[in-house]
A and B are shown apart, each in its own frame.
Chain A
Amino acid sequence: MSESVLLTWRSDRITIGWVWRGIQADIAQTARYSSAFSIGRLSLMRRVSFMFSPPILCSGTYRLSHWLYRRGLTLPARCLSWLNFVVHRADLSCAAEIGPGLYIPHTSGVIFRGRAGSNLTLLFRSAVVDDRINVHLERVERGCPRLGNGVTVGVFSVIKGAVTIGDGAFVGASSTVRTDLPANAAVIVGHLLARRPN
């Protein structure tokens, strides 16, 4: 795979405006995914309604804690991400770097340590973690996965170790990924459960 798809989103300066723009991008992404319910354009009322739904509360809390972390306030950042953990049951490390457009439809059991580009989708009980049996607190640089833009991590799936996932990759349900994936790859695990009738 070429090095160009390995480029992940990396922001050098995290400001409070980055938090706000990130939350707006998360709302837009959530609205895009739940377009089955939407009628017409994204009105202010729907926007506010999204803002108080668990996906946006969770990702917004993560963005605030990452902002605190990047300002050097490690203890408040960890307290905030721990509050996120207790309330939403999603373990998004305050040191993780996730681009705008994060979408977590069901926050329970989601674990994220690492770096990801924009438009990341984390489904129920997915885990993106480092390889070592390591309970370190802050650093995500070494040993953690790097995800490109537009990656979807499926239900019960695990991405583990210092791997690189290309742009637009799809990791299917209950799969374990411990190798690099090229761009637009799809990993599907499972057995043939149903056959088409003759």
Chain B
Amino acid sequence: MKNIWTIAKREYENYFNSPLAYAVAVGVLFMLGIYFALILYVSSQQSFMGGGIPEVAPLNWLFVFLMIFLSPALTMRLISDEARMGTLELMLTAPVRDFELVAGKWLGALLFVLSIALITIIYPLIVNNFVEPGIDWLVMLSSYLGLILVCAALLALGTGISAIFSNQFAAFFVTLGLFFFLWFMVSLPANYLPVGGEVFNYLSISTHFSQSMNNGTIALGDIVYYLSLTALGLFIGSTAVEIRRWN
């Protein structure tokens, strides 16, 4: 398990050498900043008319939504690039299990994304200072737990797909396509099916977050869903690495 941490640490530090990772971080924070300003503006207009307090949970929704499009850029090169550069041979002849390699890469990416998420905590903190009696921190906690789980699942799937390809752009587009499908498309049949629609709803990566954890509802089913996706991603990654050995 120590190997996972060693690999994660290197991968995390590596992001700070990568212009792409900075672009992702800046992009996310810029969009969230604009959205936050907008939320404040709208709620100030509403409070004139006796309206409510600013909602911060939508910011986490936007963070997760942006990750659908941006996280493939963070995971695309994790393993594919090592295969292309030949450094995978180093990793595969070091005393490291295939799973530890994949899990370490994934953890490094997750830590990087969570570092960005950590910065966004200033938004609830700001709002908390301006409203009485403060915001509901339990809802925020649930929202951030959801955010962590969604990101963990997305990044695990991305890492797994990166292990399949030797070309990082192939990995990027396949990952993006899968996320797009899981977010927008998989729940579509639910609206047309007379029975069994819930199954498709359950498969959607967005519903467990936007309609549940982001509103303060922590359900076991949602947690299991994201943890299963994470496990699936890491399993795909380890298997793909093992298959590489045989070729």
The answer on A and B forming one complex is no
Binding site for A on B (CB under 8 A): none
